[in-house]
Amino acid sequence: MKMFKIKKVVLKLFQNSILILLCLLILNTQCLATDKLFSKDCSKEGTQYLVKQVFDGDTVLVEARSREPEKQGDKEAKRQRNKEAKKIRNVDNEENNYKIRFLGIDAFEHDQLPYGPNAQHFLTMLVLNKEVCIETDIQEQDRYGRTLGYVFIRSKTLLVNEELLKNGQALLYDFPPNIKYIDRLKKAQAYARNNMLGIWEKQDYIVETPAQWRKKHPHKYNKKKHKTNLKVKI
């Protein structure tokens, strides 16, 4: 009986070890796929993406852009990468569409008039149909499967996240450990508040923040979050 219990314990430990190894392998695969898709420093390198759709003031849909004609072997490798990426993040295998949630900011929802539509319009004018570079931080996805990123345009010098705050189109959203540009973002919001721009037109008087609105309307928010005119998987 004692030997049977020992064997049972050993088997349980072995099963747990296998499970841990599988989890580590999955995490490693996800990190490798992300490294191939997005940049860690847009000032040095980074694939360009075309902004195809603006959902609201802090979420867009982008498509990967190819800089050079692909060889047959490259195309096959790309299809394989897309197949793997499709399993772990919101990307459509045929269109290479990625849903990007801007880091460090929180824009008003569309039903929060007038700031929600204003933020979406501002972002649309800034990035729609333009090429951008997506730079990730420590955490590369949110709980909805969207890629968390900083978006750069104009030869990787203009940080869109910062521009939204600087023009009063969003609130600062401190989300540790993703704090790579937190100082720049704090200064941008301070500039908008001091100059009473956008949502700060009445200085510090904000009736309801985006987070408060989402908490009161969870079903409406979730329904809007999944709505898109293009193929994209969440």
Residue 1: what pLDDT?
57
Answer yes or no: is 120 within a domain: yes
Residue 225: what pLDDT?
53
Residue 38: what pLDDT?
85
Residue 207: what pLDDT?
83
User: Residue 76 CA to chain centroid, in angstroms?
Assistant: 27
Answer yes or no: is 76 within a domain: yes
CA distance 230 to 213: 26
Answer yes or no: is 62 within a domain: yes
61 torsion bin: left (phi>0), alpha (psi -120 to 50), beta (else): beta
> Between the CA of residue 5 and those of 11, 14, 17, 19, 126, what are the distances in Å?
10, 14, 19, 21, 66
Residue 202: what pLDDT?
84
Residue 76: what pLDDT?
63
The CATH number given to whatever domain includes residue 81 is: 2.40.50.90
Angle between the N-to-C axes of helices 72-88 and 2-37, in degrees from 0 to 180, rounded to the nearest 10: 130
Burial of 84 (0-12, 13-18, 19+ CB in 10 A): middle
Answer yes or no: is 7 within a domain: no
Answer yes or no: is 156 within a domain: yes
Whether the model pTM is above 0.85: no
Answer yes or no: is 162 within a domain: yes
Residue 167: what pLDDT?
98
The 3-state DSSP class for residue 234 equals: coil
Answer yes or no: is 233 within a domain: no
Strand partners of residue 134 = 151
Residues 6+ apart with CB under 8 A from 27: none
Nearest to 198, CA basis, from 73, 89, 57, 98: 57
Average pLDDT per consecutive 10 residues, the chain (234 residues; last block may be shorter)? 59 64 48 62 84 96 70 56 49 71 96 94 97 95 93 88 98 94 97 95 83 85 50 35
Based on the structure, what is the number of domains in the chain?
1
Answer yes or no: is 53 within a domain: yes
What is the H or E stretch that residue 133 is in? strand 131-135
Q: Which domain covers residue 52, as residue numbers? A: 38-225
Residue 206: what pLDDT?
82
